[in-house]
């Protein structure tokens, strides 16, 4: 079939797809009955829309996305003995531990499982400020990176160690109007990175918010599918009970095209336990071509002349100022 005819066929197929049903979770529904909200789009939807990049060839990303070849890229390998102690205040979390006003809707976009962060029940977005940040940053999106049955899949590597899963909470400087606008500026975004490590005894009740997310992943294994959680969570619950006052911070980029060098990274050295069953859920996720979406992490990038700072909670170490 000629490409143009094929394109027209795809357009017609999209036209006839059922409309997405409104997301109005019923609190009386059992947690296991997660609502599937969308159906498949044609397999080559991604290519038709010019979003065709893959984890098979990250070294080729700069061809279509020049910023991916920049000198302040992420992720990086963090080595404790090379970090610079920073005398900076802790990060202030506002509305982070207030319950979100809507159920979150997980989506499979062919590259990750993600959800947009709703406002809290007080109708404000969760925000972070202070620490290395000069402005207020609103939480916008959460997504994950993972490995495979034979490999670990965190993006940041700490002291030569890669972990099983990495969660990114993407925040947007609230002086900009959207993530797309904010990523054009070096102070546009701040991403919190949380690393997960498989441990044998992790029960759902120990990490309720995280379990709500991880247990919904099996409902979004198909490309372009989405599913609502059936329990309300706070964003802060995704940080489990890690010490939020100890973190690494450095200037870097988005780890997927367009690799915008707009990110103040905040990476926690404390690792959160995850059960093997929850990690396995990610291994069954499919990409836009129906293949297994595994190892969706970018290789570590050169640190170059950048400093990686470490903020400890007691603040009584030899200090260097930004």
Which residues here bind Zn ion, judged by CB under 5 A?
A: 168
Token pair for residue 169?
Answer: 């909470």
Cβ proximity to Zn ion, 146 vs 176, nearer residue: 146
Cβ proximity to Zn ion, 232 vs 235, nearer residue: 235
Q: Is 163 a catalytic residue?
A: no
State the catalytic residue, choosing from 96, 111, 171, 223.
111
Token pair for residue 47?
Answer: 């290519």
State the catalytic residue, choosing from 55, 96, 137, 176.
176
Cβ proximity to Zn ion, 212 vs 253, nearer residue: 253
Q: Tell how strand 161-162 and strand 133-146 pair up.
A: unpaired
Burial 117-143 (b: 16+ CB within 10 A, else e): bbbbeeeebbbbbebbbeebbbbbbbb
In the complex, the smallest distance separating the C-beta of residue 191 from Zn ion, rounded to whole angstroms, is: 7
Cβ proximity to Zn ion, 42 vs 75, nearer residue: 75
Token pair for residue 156?
Answer: 């940041």
Bridge partners of 143, per DSSP, are 114, 168
> How far is 243 from 266, CA to CA, in rounded Å?
13
Using DSSP, state whether 168 is helix, strand or coil. strand
In the complex, the smallest distance separating the C-beta of residue 179 from Zn ion, rounded to whole angstroms, is: 13
For residue 20, what is the DSSP state?
Answer: P
Strands (E), 122-237: 127-130, 133-146, 157-158, 161-162, 165-173, 189-198, 226-228
In the complex, the smallest distance separating the C-beta of residue 42 from Zn ion, rounded to whole angstroms, is: 26
In the complex, the smallest distance separating the C-beta of residue 288 from Zn ion, rounded to whole angstroms, is: 18
Cβ proximity to Zn ion, 114 vs 311, nearer residue: 114
In the complex, the smallest distance separating the C-beta of residue 74 from Zn ion, rounded to whole angstroms, is: 9
Q: Which residue is nearest to Zn ion (CB)?
A: 168
> How far is 133 from 90, CA to CA, in rounded Å?
10
> How far is 54 from 65, CA to CA, in rounded Å?
13
Q: Is 248 a catalytic residue?
A: no
- Residues annotated as part of the active site: 111, 176
């Amino acid at each position: 079939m000629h490409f143009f005819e094929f394109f027209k066929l795809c357009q017609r197929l999209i036209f006839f797809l059922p409309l997405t049903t409104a997301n109005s979770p019923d609190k009386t529904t059992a947690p296991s009955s997660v609502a599937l909200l969308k159906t498949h789009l044609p397999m080559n939807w991604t290519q038709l829309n010019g979003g065709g990049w893959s984890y098979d060839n990250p070294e080729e990303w700069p061809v279509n996305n020049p910023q991916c070849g920049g000198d302040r890229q992420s992720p990086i390998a963090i080595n404790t003995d090379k970090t610079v102690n920073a005398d900076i205040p802790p990060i202030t979390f506002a509305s982070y531990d207030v319950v979100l006003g809507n159920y979150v809707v997980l989506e499979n976009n062919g590259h990750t499982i993600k959800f947009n962060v709703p406002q809290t029940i007080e109708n404000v977005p969760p925000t972070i400020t202070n620490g290395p940040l000069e402005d207020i940053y609103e939480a916008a999106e959460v997504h994950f990176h993972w490995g495979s049955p034979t490999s670990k899949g965190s993006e940041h590597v700490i002291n030569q160690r890669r972990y099983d899963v990495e969660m990114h909470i993407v925040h947007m400087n609230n002086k900009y109007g959207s993530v797309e606008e904010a990523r054009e500026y070096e102070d546009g975004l701040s991403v919190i990175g949380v690393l997960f490590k498989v441990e044998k005894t992790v029960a759902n009740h120990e990490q309720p918010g995280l379990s709500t997310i991880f247990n919904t992943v099996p409902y979004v294994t198909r490309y372009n599918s989405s599913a609502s959680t059936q329990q309300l969570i706070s964003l802060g619950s995704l940080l489990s009970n890690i010490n939020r006052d100890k973190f690494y911070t450095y200037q870097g980029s988005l780890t997927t095209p367009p690799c915008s060098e707009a990110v103040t990274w905040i990476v926690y050295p404390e690792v959160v336990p995850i059960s093997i069953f929850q990690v396995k859920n990610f291994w069954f996720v499919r990409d836009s071509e129906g293949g297994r979406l595994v190892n969706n992490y970018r290789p570590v990038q050169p640190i170059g002349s950048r400093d990686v700072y470490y903020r400890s909670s007691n603040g009584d170490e030899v200090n260097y100022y930004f």
